Amino acid sequence: MKKILITGGSEGIGLAAAQALAAEGSAVTLVARNPEKLQAALRSLPGSGHRSLPADLSTPEGMSLVAKHIDENYYEVFINNAGAAAYGHFTELALDRQLAIMHLNMDAVVVLAHHYLRQARRGDALVNTASTTGIMSLPGIGVYTATKAFVNILSETLWWEQKEKGVYVMGFNPGGTSSGFHTASGGDKKAFAAMQTPEAVAKELVRALRQRTRPRVISGGMNRLFVFLGRLLPRKAVINMMGRFAPAPAS
């Protein structure tokens, strides 16, 4: 039975991935900050051997708790998925909130990836969840997009560093996904024209994890086309285009 650790596993893409992997016979450990949501998520998983670990990864205490857990427990796969965002112009959002997002989206990713890869064995895999907005840039959610660009570049370098050891690292890039992420970020989930369900995104994540061919994977045909077309345009034109379609905060 394969053991898999998933942060941000109580809802959205993390939970959908957990359900898909549990259905294949894996034992999944879910990490999230809300104990009640974690217990509900566990009850939704098929199979047995699943566990939960409540932790707020935007705090040093939460990072240390999960890092210690990784040191003491072996996992064949780690999906480093927890993340947060805040809709609004940079100067209009509270600085403390944006710094907390940076701690969660970057510091926690680095800390946990470091602990995982130091003990990873040949055949193991690390997935870092990034975002297509980290490739294209999206005004109105600037700190989030910058953190996801960081995750993408980090994942690519780790892919190269780990490949001769037989450990696979992937930067996984969903686009707009119909989950509670957007409302939790203070935005409108209807703001994106092309939405995938968490289940559809998770299906692509699991398939890419099985294939293990690329350091960067983009989920969804429309997202792949959009990113490809963006590479053909001058960068200024891409940013102006994204700015015109940037989602506004929910009223």
Q: What is this structure's pTM?
A: 0.89
Q: What percent of the chain has pLDDT above 70?
A: 90
* Domain boundaries 3-244, corresponding CATH code: 3.40.50.720
Whether 148 shows a pLDDT value over 80: the answer reads yes
pLDDT tens profile 5-24: 999 999 999 999 999 999 99
Task: Give residue limits of the domains in the chain.
Answer: 3-244
Amino acid found at 172: F
